[in-house]
Structure 1
Amino acid sequence: MNTPDVHTPSTPHWFTSSYSNGSGGECVECAWSDEGGALIRDSKRPRGGIVAVGEEAWRSFVTAAVRTPSNF
């Protein structure tokens, strides 16, 4: 598997989904990488690990998420 180089900005701007309730219900936070991909972390453990996803993989994920009905 090829892993794209994804660089973390020196100060990522983390954000949660507009669907998050603001009362601690959000699960993940995202930030944009320097290359247009996404950085993902657990909002409850912000000093924990970060998952870096390349731009193509992020677009595929978002497209699939939008097309998939939610059961929540």
Structure 2
Amino acid sequence: MATNVPNAVAVRDSKDPGGRILRFTPAAWGDFRAALAEGLVD
């Protein structure tokens, strides 16, 4: 996860550094993390 991308949170598979990067808004990433913490995502 990288937070040094302006207005985005970038996520990639560390086992595949040349692979695709997923970019989320900080708000969407925060919602995802909150859902994980609440057990709403498996």
Q: TM-score range with shorter-chain normalisation?
A: 0.7 to 0.9
Structure 2 gaps, min length 5:
none
**Structure 1 residue runs of 4+, over 6 Å off?**
none
Q: TM-score, normalised by structure 1?
A: 0.49
Find out whether 1:34 has 2:6 as its counterpart.
Answer: yes
The corresponding residue for 1:67 is: 38
Sequence identity, in percent?
30
Distance 1:38 1:68 in 2: 21
The corresponding residue for 2:19 is: 48
Structure 1 gaps, min length 5:
1-29
Q: TM-score, normalised by structure 2?
A: 0.76
Give 1 or 2 for the bigger CA radius of gyration.
1
Aligned-residue offset at 1:38? 1.1
Q: How many residues align?
A: 40
Q: CA RMSD in A?
A: 1.8
